[in-house]
């Protein structure tokens, strides 16, 4: 089933409502494929209203594009600029302070809007920033690390961006000594441009007003288990199969959402108490001295998991999870061999065991459910459990 459903889900969720502006200045509302770019995109794919055809544009055909979703807004412009890609001496050893300019048509990500606009460009280890004042063409803020020549070679810094800001993006109250402490990093430059725009116009155009995302979710959970447990007799090796074994589980969980890929990946820790019990008649020809066999399973599970969300929206989430299971509780789990009158003859403890599980689930607002398949084995004397678990949960934080 998943082989048919998931590709459709993935294909749908990556297209978001947005717009493009062509080089002719015409704005078109459309659906934009959000690839959650780690680097600045080279091309962008989109669909026009009423069409399923996927079109593609680049910085020479698209003047601007953007979209807004539950996690904020993004805006890119297409521009032909002079760019220096030799910023970092530790990655690409440069022996001169002069920028190595080359002309390229690129998408630039708008970071701060207003009278003075700050743009960013990322590719691998390269993080370059551009600026434009009152609609002028974007220019790169100059920063370059380079090696000095000679026997005592060392890294020096061309901080030309400080002079550019002092000349073009400066409030009357700007102090040059304070400006010199400005670092060539996104956080510092964004703050500087916001301050400048507030100073000269009394307002700042916020193009990335991102809602605060929670990186930690805590939840209570409970559910039902159904499966088979097979245990081997310690002396004879005879296997007792407790089929259609039902039980219950309850516990708590912590989800640590990773700050990548729009929060689609997370790590899980779910300490859970698992209980099940069953009793069956012994087979006389194989267990001569026994009348009944009783099993009690009391385990503290400690699943550690990785989760990937295929749908990640404000109210609805759909995901798959893989778990590594560690189980504890030797003293509370056992198989008891009894006479027909119920008198125990032998009690064999179930050792803790490890295993694996995989599940699919959905959450709606604070409530969620998951269907999980478990396989656990014991390496000591051959007990193993396999079955399904239906779990409900409620987020408490």
* Structure tokens belonging to residue 275: 């209980």
Give pTM, 2 decimals.
Answer: 0.62
57 touches 19 (CB < 8 A): no
Task: Give me the pLDDT at residue 284, please.
Answer: 59
Number of Cβ within a 10 Å radius of residue 252: 15
SS3 6: helix
Task: Give me the pLDDT at residue 379, please.
Answer: 44
Number of Cβ within a 10 Å radius of residue 358: 14
SS3 9: helix
Task: Give me the pLDDT at residue 155, please.
Answer: 83
Distances (CA, A) of 86 to 100, 142, 397: 7, 11, 46
Distance, CA of 46 to CA of 48 (rounded, Å):
7
* Residue-range domains of the chain with CATH: 70-201 (no CATH), 216-395 (2.40.160.20)
Task: Give me the pLDDT at residue 128, please.
Answer: 95
106 touches 139 (CB < 8 A): no
- Cβ neighbours for 263, distance < 8 A, ≥ 6 positions apart: 71, 213, 257, 309, 312
List b or e across 368-379, with b for residues whose CB sees 16 or more CB atoms inside 10 angstroms.
bebebebebebe
Distance, CA of 246 to CA of 225 (rounded, Å):
5
302 touches 326 (CB < 8 A): yes
Task: Give me the pLDDT at residue 378, please.
Answer: 61
pLDDT per residue, tens digit, the chain (397 aa), is: 444 344 444 444 468 889 999 999 999 999 998 877 778 999 999 999 989 999 999 999 999 999 876 666 889 999 999 999 886 545 555 567 889 899 999 999 999 999 999 999 999 888 999 999 998 999 999 999 888 777 677 888 899 999 999 999 999 888 888 899 999 999 999 999 999 999 988 766 666 545 556 789 999 999 999 998 887 766 666 677 888 889 999 999 999 999 777 788 999 999 999 998 888 776 655 555 566 778 888 888 899 999 999 988 778 999 999 999 887 765 577 777 776 666 777 777 776 678 899 999 999 989 999 999 998 866 444 577 889 999 999 999 8
């Amino acid at each position: 089933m998943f082989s048919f459903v998931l590709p459709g889900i993935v294909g749908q969720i990556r297209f978001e409502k947005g717009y493009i502006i062509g080089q002719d200045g015409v704005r078109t509302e459309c659906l934009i494929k959000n690839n959650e770019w780690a680097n600045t995109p080279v091309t962008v794919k989109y669909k026009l209203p009423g069409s399923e055809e996927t079109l593609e544009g680049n910085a020479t055909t698209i003047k601007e594009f953007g979209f807004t979703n539950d996690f904020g807004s993004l805006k890119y412009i297409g521009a032909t600029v002079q760019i220096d890609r030799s910023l970092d001496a530790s990655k690409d050893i440069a022996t001169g302070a002069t920028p190595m300019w080359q002309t390229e048509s690129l998408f630039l990500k708008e970071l701060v809007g207003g009278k003075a606009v700050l743009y960013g460009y990322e590719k691998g280890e390269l993080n370059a920033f551009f600026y434009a004042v009152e609609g002028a063409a974007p220019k790169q803020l100059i920063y370059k690390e380079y090696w000095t020549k000679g026997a005592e070679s060392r890294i020096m810094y061309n901080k030309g961006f400080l002079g550019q800001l002092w000349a073009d993006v400066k409030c009357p109250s700007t102090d040059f000594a304070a400006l010199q402490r400005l670092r060539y990093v996104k956080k510092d430059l964004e703050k500087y441009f916001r301050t400048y725009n507030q100073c000269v116009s009394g307002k700042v155009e916020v193009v990335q007003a991102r809602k605060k995302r929670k990186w930690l979710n805590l939840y209570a959970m409970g559910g039902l288990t159904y499966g088979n447990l097979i245990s081997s007799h310690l002396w004879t090796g005879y296997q007792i199969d407790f089929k259609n074994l039902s039980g219950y589980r309850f516990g708590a969980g912590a989800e640590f959402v990773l700050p990548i890929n729009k929060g689609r990946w997370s790590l899980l820790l779910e300490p859970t108490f698992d209980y099940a019990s069953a009793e069956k008649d012994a087979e006389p020809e194989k267990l001569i001295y026994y009348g009944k066999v009783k099993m009690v399973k009391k385990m503290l599970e400690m699943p550690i998991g990785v989760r990937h969300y295929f749908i990640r929206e404000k109210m609805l989430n759909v995901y798959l999870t893989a778990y590594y299971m560690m189980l504890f509780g030797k003293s509370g789990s056992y198989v008891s061999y009894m006479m027909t009158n119920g008198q125990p003859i032998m009690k064999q403890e179930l050792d803790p065991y490890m295993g694996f599980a995989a599940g699919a689930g959905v959450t709606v607002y604070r409530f969620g459910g998951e269907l999980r398949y478990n396989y656990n084995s014991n390496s000591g004397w051959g007990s193993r459990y396999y079955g399904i678990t239906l779990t409900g949960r409620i987020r408490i934080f």
